[in-house]
Amino acid sequence: MPCVDLARRHIDDGELVSIYGSRITGMVVFRDRPRPQDRGSLSAIAGEVSPAEACSLVRLAATPSSDDGVRYARVGDLRSHGFAVSHSPSRRNPRHCQYIMKMSKSGMTL
């Protein structure tokens, strides 16, 4: 098995992240809120990747198809809208990032 670099790095505001979605009911659907197992964050991939590349990183043993899609966001735009963006690599996806709404001191989202 090849060595995978799991060192976290800073994600710059000018970078793009790719957000994977898959067709469920005729249109490509992207998660718009965390699931309970997501621990409050949503996932993205550092950099601009194709739907096929995103599928291979996100879905185990899935064959990429026209049902897969990707949308892109500039990290600085996410941050300016109150999201914290961080690199959270894993062995399966060394380019994994997460983004989460920042909380104010009072516990309210910004």
Ordered by start, the domain boundaries in the chain are 16-101
CA gap 110, 103 in Å, rounded: 6
**What residues contact residue 28 under an 8 Å CB cut-off, 6+ apart?**
21, 22, 67, 68, 69
The larger pLDDT score, comparing residue 107 to residue 79, is at 79
- The first and second tokens of residue 43, run together, are 């996932």
> Using CB atoms within 10 A of its CB, is residue 55 exposed (0-12), middle (13-18) or buried (19+)?
buried
CA 74 to chain centre: 12
**pLDDT tens string 29-81:** 888 778 788 778 899 999 999 999 999 898 877 888 888 899 999 999 999 99
Q: For the chain, give the percent of residues with pLDDT over 70.
A: 85
